[in-house]
Structure 1
């Protein structure tokens, strides 16, 4: 498995060092994997999916405005 070096900055490094019981490499690996999975979902969205989501958002904003006006 390749090694990746991450620069976290002095403050964050100090805070991480207060918790030596945590496997920070594993935390980082899991966070990267979750982000990659989420991006994969976005990559799979089709134009029609985006259009449907947009219509739902716009419809919900319209309903919200109507409720406030009442």
Structure 2
């Protein structure tokens, strides 16, 4: 029985595409399908851990560059504001009890 499977479009960097073209014997759609299935299995088992380096790689070079160019003081300022907002939220929650 033949099953119609949905198609997806996948974007990859040009340099990776050029390398892939050199290996015409590989069924790249099958490689991608297997990688997606393995990733989903890990997600469903709750065993998928992503490092900060992985996240930066997924977000791209432009995002990584902006993070590195942002002064540490900006991050400290945001952290203080977030901490104060969380404290206010918890304080108001506790007073309602």
Q: TM-score, normalising length from structure 1?
A: 0.59
Higher helix share: 1
Q: Which runs of 4+ in 1 moved over 3 A?
A: none
TM-align CA RMSD: 1.2
2:46 is equivalent to residue 42 of structure 1 = yes
Choose from 23, 28, 49 the match for 1:24. Answer: 28
Q: What displacement does 1:40 show? A: 0.6
Specify the SS of the correspondent of 2:46: helix
Consecutive unaligned residues in structure 2, runs of 5 or more? 48-97
Distance (whole Å) between structure 1 residues aligned to residue 25 and residue 37 of structure 2: 22
Distance (whole Å) between structure 1 residues aligned to residue 13 and residue 21 of structure 2: 12
Q: How many residues align?
A: 43
Consecutive unaligned residues in structure 1, runs of 5 or more? 44-70
Q: What displacement does 1:8 show? A: 0.7
Larger radius of gyration: 2
RCO (CA 8 Å, sep 6+): is it higher in 1 or 2? 1
